[in-house]
Amino acid sequence: MNSLNHVAIIMDGNGRWGIKHYNSRNKGHRAGLEVVEKIINVSLKKKISYLTLYAFSTENWKRPKKEINYLFKLLETFLKNQISDLEKKNIKLKIIGKKKLTPKLNKLILLSEKKTENNSSLQINLALNYGSKSEIIHTIKYLNKKNKIISEKNISNNLYTKKIPDPEILIRTGNTKRLSNFLLWQLAYTEIFFEKKLWPDFNEKDFNKIINKFLNLKRNFGSI
């Protein structure tokens, strides 16, 4: 049986869900946040060590300002309300991506990371203003500057995800089969599960089904 340490999720389909049920994309984002809280609890129960969640990509800046503002407001409320809960549950929060958002959010992010840095039950990596190509370029430039050789080890050890093992599972909800610039390096040998359901409809049962499928997979890593 495979062991499971790290699950990454592209939480896609909020907008379509919101339009379908309330004719409002933003309502979908709000419903999606409730599922995030549920999936965090399931991950704790399952003793998963790392949960990486794609919340905002470097390409998402192309969206209407109204939607971006709503997403950031939602995130602000989430961080404010969740800090004490994360602490209680011994969860560590790490942001991966370019930490240049709104001044209020930047401050809240720093505070949440600081307050939870010594926690050890589950680490949540929240991908915010994240783009994999820019992460890789940033890393290579850094290695060049430090006169270090460009090796697999040096690249892995200097990405935003340094010290974090690569995900064993990637889940993308929302019935779309693409990676959208997410963890291109780290997913080289990850098992990928594309889920038809929109993110706000994703639940514990769906998550468990994927985990059980993964546990019984034969992983080759190029061997036989």
Q: How many CB atoms lie within 10 A of CB 6?
A: 21
125: nearest Cα among 156, 159, 76:
159
Under rule CB under 6 A, residue 97 binds ligand IPE: no
Considering only the stretches 8-16, 36-44, 71-79, 216-224, report the one whose residues sit in contact with Mg ion under the rule CB under 5 A. Answer: 8-16
Inter-residue contact 151 to 126 (CB < 8 Å): no
Q: By CB under 5 A, tell whether 12 contacts Mg ion.
A: yes
Single residue of 100, 141, 178, 213 touching ligand IPE by CB under 6 A: 178
Cα distance between residue 67 and residue 63, in whole Å:
7
Minimum distance of ligand IPE from residue 176's CB (angstroms): 6
Strands 169-172 and 191-194: parallel
Which residues form the catalytic set?
Answer: 12, 60
Candidates 7, 36, 40, 71: give the one binding ligand IPE (CB under 6 A): 71
Interaction of residue 36 with ligand IPE, rule CB under 6 A: no
Binding residue (CB under 6 A) for ligand IPE from 6, 13, 126, 193: 13
Distance CA 11, CA 198 (A): 8
Only segment of 10-18, 95-103, 131-139, 156-164 that touches ligand IPE (CB under 6 A): 10-18
DSSP, res 124: E
CA distance 136 to 145: 14
Q: How far is the CB of 60 from Mg ion (least distance, A)?
A: 9
57 is a site residue for ligand IPE (CB under 6 A):
yes
Please tell me the count of residues contacting Mg ion according to CB under 5 A. 1
CB 95 within 8 A of CB 130: no
CB atoms within 10 A of CB 7: 26
**In the complex, which residues of this chain contact Mg ion (CB under 5 A)?**
12
Positions in the binding site for ligand IPE (CB under 6 A):
10-16, 54-57, 59-60, 71, 174, 176, 178, 180
